[in-house]
Chains A and B, each alone.
Chain A
Amino acid sequence: MPERAKVSTAWAAEAAGRPGPAQDGGTGAVACASEFEPVIGLEVHVELSTKSKLFCGCQAAFNAPPNSHTCPVCLGLPGVLPVLNRKAVEFGIKTALALNCEVASFSKFDRKNYFYPDLPKNYQISQYDLPLGTSGYVDVSVDGGMRRVRIKRVHLEEDAGKSVHESGTITGSSFSLEDYNRTGVPLLEIVSEPDLRSPEEAYAYLSMLRSILRYLDVSDCKMEEGSLRCDANISVRPKGSSVLGTPIELKNLNSFRAVEKALAYEFRRQAEILARGERITRETRHWDESRQVTVPMRRKEEADDYRYFPEPDLVPLEIEEAWVNEVRSTLPELPGVRRERFMRDYGLPAYDAAILTESKDLADYFEAAVAAYGGDAKAVSNWVMGELARLMNATGTDIRDVRVAPTALAAMLKMIDDGTISGKIAKTVFEEMFATGKEPRQVVAEKGLVQIVDEGELARIVDEVIAENRDVADEVRAGKDRAITFLVGQVMKKTRGRANPRAVNRLLRERLSSG
């Protein structure tokens, strides 16, 4: 249930004037924080990646010219009626199942009434008392252990439009414009129980949730594009207490890091207040990213009354067991299960398994490469998490757009194994493969990177290097063993890395001990 940032200027001013808590955990904060624990629940909204909107046939696309994806229905013109998008329901069921929820056999839609210019009907079609899914859970790995985070509910609703203010802020503008492209895009709201006990756990939960949603292919979960949004509820209580404190709702959390930082800030702030023996006021607070503080938005006592009532323009949603089973049969192996399997079947460390399975595409890539390679899975993992990840990060490439086929990576690894290329050369080869999409054999041939396997040729180069560096050779002969690395380096340089360093080392020793 997205609410808008209605920042009361009076409150904001008051907040600005009030000295805030220590920003970087002053000693006092650390001391008192250790006596308290935070209780955190997250409310996540994800835009479902259906082709069309929830109640009309308009495209649900991001970044289109303003109001180009609108029709009488999503504009809420007089007389129009909503028609439920079955695909959105299917995505909702899929998600509910993946989050171990009970899928309602009888669900319905309700109207949430509030006035805002970006909401064309001035009500949002949402689900109130009979949501699509209830009572689920997600297992999240935290600090080496596992935490089961219970999911309270999963429900479908329509997104609102976007207000664009002339000068960027509502107060400084003489007019505002409305873009209704986003209006009616299906949103899935996923509400957790207050089961998270640290900002880090909140981060880990969000990551796991995103991972699951992407595995399901129901949302692209891009927080920067608003396709994943998160509000947090946090209360603080003395460690060991089972009583819940006064919850504070946090808004304007625009990244996973922001969620973590705002919760950390809020935990310290509340712990300090409690340590002073004062009470927490129930309110909604806004995360100020530039100042890295939370500021009050409005008191919760003034909370709007949304006057929910059943949407009379839609019939109740009856979900047959057969449909649920059909959707269940399409569920992919989910990240948690896959991570376990990677550790078991491939002998990977937990760290590798977690990273490789976070994204389905990455995990698929890894498994395809392992299958084509047939050798040590850990070697594949090292390359995927090492060079591949480094190049992807450096170039901002998504795994789906990587030009190195898993089979090509496997072929390259085999070339290392059979001594065609050295591990060092392989990095060069891989970079070229990444940039051009060429097969490793082609890169090696074109660049003349084949390892010199001919002993005679290598011996000739070794002799050359010894001849050119007589003084160093003498040092080695005199017993200064470490000087040999310089000579190895010179041979590698001459061969542009195509020599096998171990062979070079052996040849040098043979010559310098007999000479």
Chain B
Amino acid sequence: MRLYELTAHELKEKIERREVGVEEAVRALLDRIAEVDEAVRAYVTVAREQALAKARAADERLARGEPARPLEGVPVALKDNMCTRGIETTCSSRILKGFVPPYDATVVELLERAGAIIIGKTNMDEFAMGSSTENSGFFPTRNPWDLGRVPGGSSGGSAAAVAADEAVAALGSDTGGSVRQPAALCGVVGLKPTDGLVSRYGLIAFASSLDQIGPITKDVRDCALMLGVIAGHDPRDSTSVPRKRCDHLKGLVPDVRGMRIGVPKEYFGEGMAPGVRAAVGAALKTLQDMGAILADVSLPHSEYALATYYIVAPAEASSNLARYDGVRYGYRAPGCPDSVTMMTQTRSEGFGAEVKRRIMLGTYTLSAGYYEAYYLKALKVRTLITRDFDRAFEKCDCLVSPTSPTVAFRFGEKMDDPLAMYLSDIYTVTANLAGIPAVSVPCGFGEDGMPVGLQILGRHYDEATVLRVAYAFEQATDFHKAKPVLRDARAGGAAMGGTAARGAAASGDGSGEAGGGPTRKPAGGEADA
């Protein structure tokens, strides 16, 4: 197995046993990026020099005999909305082009303190607004399983990087499903932790009350490992919750016997692709066979979730994004005669269409005379949605659903229809509205052999149960071991994007060539540019 194919815990063990040097590991990843990123385009910035310098420092530490830290030498990618001191941070927006933060996000400090090496910043939908990474202000990222399809979003770059072995693990941010949905569409693991568990300090805000940073990893063990590093109270984030740190690895037992798993009927209705339905149905059967007790539950306010989300999120965004005005940093429109024109022009030129759409939506719903009808009402519905979950969790240890109603779609398929795009989040937004943890774990393959994710939702702060169920399921299946085949783009290979399920359990396969090669221009991919 090549170095870049290892999981974080595997690589860390090798480094700990001095079988592999940190610089060696980092170089392996940098080489892999050089090899395939021209095709995948997961990264907006590769921090090559910084990563190598940190790797050498880590090797020196180890050479001095210092003990290996929890993520010693593990190359990690960050979604480009997490501030990194000295490394450009753009949110994939032209308006932040050239912005080099003078400070590190708390998660960055925590990762580095744990020995992780930041190797680069990944592409995303501009300001995390989107479900396909097509809204990036720079370029779209491609799904490693089929380069003609989107990786999901908005953390599409992070998910694609992990799926394509361009990063051992990554962080994304999840406001309405932005970690879980791309993880599902790229066949990797993605967790949205409980609201307040991970500090948001240094995460460039989209919708503050919904945003949460979460890991995207190759398996559940890595997910637990990453969570253990980044979770914890941070005095710089007033909404971060003072709780004792816990070792999420200890709770990973492959046993769900007697656990009550709720199946919310509202999450299995219309609009779900047959391939997704089949894969998730099989997953439920697997859990049942493992001894879990499935229970039908209802979350009656689910039908209002998407509407609620699309009121709350744009409202907060319209305020959060007001600071990008060209006065202090980032892009400034040239040649303006006065400050009002300058601010207007800067924002007109600097933001993409989807960002502008949401700023306008949010500005409208917060306006005098509309606030009560929209924002205030949305907050009330939010409370009702939270109560739905509270009631369901009285009877169940966790809930399961598909992560996304469809597999990864083709470029341009939903770009002209914002509502269709918004529906991609229909199963994921509720966890953000309720503030509960939810993980997406690979559970098979659907249409055209594309990966499908199973979402497991838990009680507030009960990441332990969510991860345990995910782990047990993962251990009972082999979906997480399946990898897309990516050949060196520089060699001009035509077979890129095909699926090669190395695991035995891959289902719904049979269209290995469906993806098309790197020469195929993604339709509509740059439509927002």
Q: CB distance A77 to B238 under 8 Å?
A: no
Chain B residues with CB under 8 Å of A83's CB are 235-238
* B500 adjacent to chain A (CB < 8 Å): no
* Number of B residues with CB within 8 Å of any CB on chain A: 44
| A120 contact from B102, B316, B328, Cβ within 8 A | B328
| Least distance between B433 CB and chain A CB atoms (Å) | 13
The reply to whether the CB of A72 lies closer than 8 angstroms to some CB of chain B is: yes
Residues of A within 8 A of B202 (CB): 79-80
Minimum CB–CB distance from A230 to chain B (whole Å) comes to: 26
B296-334 to A contact mask, C-beta < 8 Å, 1/0? 000000000000000000011011001111011100000
Q: Could you tell me if A78 and B343 are in contact, using CB atoms closer than 8 angstroms?
A: no
Contacts of B325 in A (CB 8 A): 115, 117, 122
Give the docked Cα–Cα distance between A421 and B205 (Å): 75
B319 touches A123 (CB 8 A): yes
Q: Nearest chain B CB to A182's CB is how many angstroms away?
A: 15
How many angstroms between the C-alpha atoms of A307 and B83 in the bound complex? Answer: 28
Residues of A within 8 A of B82 (CB): 79
Residues of chain B within 8 A of A312, CB atoms compared:
207-209, 239, 316
Complex: chain B residue closest to A176, CB-CB:
B339
CB neighbours (8 Å) of B236 from chain A are 81, 83
State whether the Cβ of B363 lies closer than 8 Å to any Cβ in chain A: yes
Asked if A78 and B367 sit within 8 Å, CB to CB, the answer is no
B68-91: contact bitstring with A at CB < 8 Å (1 yes, 0 no)?
A: 000000000000011100000101
Interface residues in A136-192 by Cβ distance below 8 A to B read 176, 178
Bound-state Cα–Cα, A78 to B331, Å: 13
Whether, in the assembled complex, A113 has its beta carbon less than 8 Å from a beta carbon of chain B, the answer is yes
B96: interface (CB < 8 Å): yes
Interface size class of chain A, counting residues whose CB lies under 8 Å from the partner chain = 20 to 34
| Chain A residues with CB below 8 A from B323, complex form | 76, 78, 120-122
Q: Is the CB of A77 within 8 A of B329?
A: yes
| CB pair A121 B322 closer than 8 Å | yes
Closest to A178 in B: B327
CB <8 Å contact, A122 and B322? yes
CA distance A121 to B329 in the complex (A): 12
Residues in A with CB closer than 8 Å to B204 are: 78-79
Q: Assuming the A-B contacts A72-B102, A305-B367, A312-B209, are A79 and B375 also in contact, with contact meaning beta carbons closer than 8 angstroms in the complex?
A: no
User: What is the 8 Å Cβ interface bit string for chain A, positions 112-126, against chain B (1 contact, 0 not)?
Assistant: 010101001111000
Most chain A CB within a 10 A radius of its CB, from B316, B322, B368:
B322
Cα(A123)–Cα(B322), bound, Å: 8
Q: Are B209 and A117 in contact (CB under 8 A)?
A: no
**Nearest A residue (CB) for B337:** A174
A434 to chain B, nearest CB (A): 50
Give chain A's interface secondary structure class. loop
Q: Tell yes or no: B371 within 8 A of A by CB.
A: yes
* A113, B201: Cβ atoms closer than 8 Å: no
Q: Are B319 and A115 in contact (CB under 8 A)?
A: no
A75 interface residue (CB < 8 Å to B): yes
Chain A residue numbers with a CB within 8 Å of B200 are: 81
Distance A395 CA – B202 CA, assembled complex (angstroms): 52
A327 within 8 A of B: no
B220 near A: Cβ within 8 Å?
A: no
- Chain B positions 317-376 with a Cβ under 8 Å from a chain A Cβ: 318-319, 322-325, 327-329, 339, 343, 363, 366-368, 371, 375
Which of B96, B209, B237, B368 touches A78 (beta carbons < 8 Å)?
B96
- Once bound together, how far apart are the Cα atoms of A440 and B82, in whole Å? 69
Contacts of B422 in A (CB 8 A): none
Contact call B319/A307, Cβ cutoff below 8 A: yes
How far is B316's CA from A68's CA once the two chains are assembled, in angstroms? 30
**Known A77-B329, A309-B319: A117·B238 in contact at CB below 8 Å:** no
**Smallest beta-carbon distance A416→chain B, Å:** 61
Least CB distance, A492 to chain B, in whole angstroms: 71
Across the interface, B103 reaches (CB within 8 A) one of A77, A115, A313, namely: A77
Residues of B within 8 A of A305 (CB): 367-368
A120 to B322, CA, bound (A): 9
Query: Does B409 reach chain A (CB closer than 8 Å)?
Result: no
- Distance in angstroms between the alpha carbons of A315 and B209 in the assembled complex: 10
Verify B89–A78 contact, CB threshold 8 A: yes
- Chain A, residues 298-315, CB within 8 Å of chain B (1/0): the string is 000000010111001111
Instruction: Mark out the residues of chain A between 292 and 341 whose CB falls within 8 Å of any chain B CB in the assembled complex.
Output: 305, 307-309, 312-315
Are B329's CB and A309's CB within 8 A?
no
Task: Give the docked Cα–Cα distance between A120 and B328 (Å).
Answer: 8
Contact of A113 among B99, B203, B235, B322 (CB under 8 A): B322
Q: Report the separation of the CA atoms of residues A81 and B240 in the bound assembly, to the nearest whole angstrom.
A: 11
B101: interface (CB < 8 Å):
yes
Whether, in the assembled complex, B259 has its beta carbon less than 8 Å from a beta carbon of chain A, the answer is no
Q: Quick one: closest A residue to B235, CB to CB?
A: A83
B494 within 8 A of partner (CB): no
Q: Is the CB of A309 within 8 A of B101?
A: no
Report Cα–Cα, A83/B200, bound state, in Å: 12
B205–A79 contact, CB under 8 A? yes
Q: Would you list which residues of chain B between 277 and 298 have a CB under 8 Å from chain A?
A: none
Chain B residues 350-409 with CB under 8 Å of chain A are 363, 366-368, 371, 375
Could you tell me if A309 and B102 are in contact, using CB atoms closer than 8 angstroms? no
Tell me, yes or no, whether B6 is within 8 Å of chain A by CB.
no
Chain A positions within 8 Å of B96 at CB level: 78
Q: Are the C-beta atoms of B89 and A315 separated by less than 8 Å? A: no
Q: Mark A89-125, 1 if CB is under 8 A from B, else 0.
A: 0000000000000000000000101010100111100
Specify which chain A residues have a CB less than 8 angstroms from the CB of B363 in the assembled complex.
307
A382-413: which residues lie under 8 A (CB-CB) from chain B?
A: none
* Cα–Cα distance between A121 and B204 once the two chains are bound (Å): 13
Are A72 and B375 in contact, CB atoms less than 8 angstroms apart? no
Say whether B343 contacts A115, CB under 8 Å.
Answer: yes
A84 interface residue per 8 A CB criterion: yes
Contact A78 B103 (CB under 8 A): no
B423 CB within 8 Å of chain A: no
Query: Assuming the A-B contacts A123-B319, A312-B209, are A82 and B368 also in contact, with contact meaning beta carbons closer than 8 angstroms in the complex?
Result: no
Q: Does B105 contact A (CB under 8 A)?
A: yes
Q: How far is the CB of A69 from chain B (nearest CB, A)?
A: 16
Q: Which of A82, A121, A312 has most B Cβ within 10 Å?
A: A312
- Cβ contact within 8 Å between A78 and B239: no
A81 vs B201: C-alpha distance when bound (angstroms):
6
A177 shortest CB reach to chain B, Å:
11
Complex: chain B residue closest to A163, CB-CB: B339
Among A72, A115, A309, A313, point to the contact of B238 (Cβ < 8 A). Answer: A313
- Please tell me if the beta carbons of A79 and B238 are within 8 angstroms of each other in the complex: no
Quote the shortest CB–CB distance from B365 to chain A (angstroms): 9
Q: Which residue of B lies closest to A180 (CB)?
A: B328
CB of A82 within 8 A of CB of B367, answer no
Distance in Å: Cβ of A307 to nearest Cβ of chain B:
4
State in angstroms the CA–CA spacing of A90 and B205 once bound together.
Answer: 29
Which residues of A lie under 8 Å from residue B91 when comparing CB positions? 78
Asked if A309 contacts B371 (CB within 8 A), the reply is yes
By beta carbon, the residue of chain B nearest A72 is B103
Cβ B328 vs Cβ A79 within 8 A: no
Query: What's the nearest-Cβ distance from chain B to residue A312, in Å?
Result: 4
Known: A82-B238, A312-B209. A77 touches B89 (CB 8 A): no
Encode B158-180 as 1/0 by CB contact (under 8 A) with A: 00000000000000000000000
CA distance A333 to B83 in the complex (A): 50
From B340, which residue of chain A is reached at the shortest CB distance? A115
> Which one of A79, A123, A309, A314 contacts B203 once the chains associate, using CB atoms below 8 Å?
A79
Contact B375 A309 (CB under 8 A): yes
20 contacts between A and B (CB under 8 A): A72-B102, A72-B103, A77-B329, A78-B99, A78-B324, A79-B83, A79-B202, A80-B202, A83-B236, A83-B237, A84-B238, A113-B318, A113-B322, A117-B327, A120-B323, A120-B327, A121-B323, A178-B327, A312-B207, A312-B239
Task: Apart from A79-B82, A83-B235, A309-B366, list 17 A-B contacts with CB within 8 A.
Answer: A76-B328, A77-B329, A78-B324, A81-B237, A82-B238, A83-B237, A111-B319, A113-B318, A121-B322, A121-B323, A122-B322, A123-B322, A178-B327, A307-B367, A312-B239, A314-B238, A315-B239
What are the nearest 6 A-B pairs in CB distance?
A122-B322, A312-B208, A307-B366, A312-B209, A78-B204, A79-B202
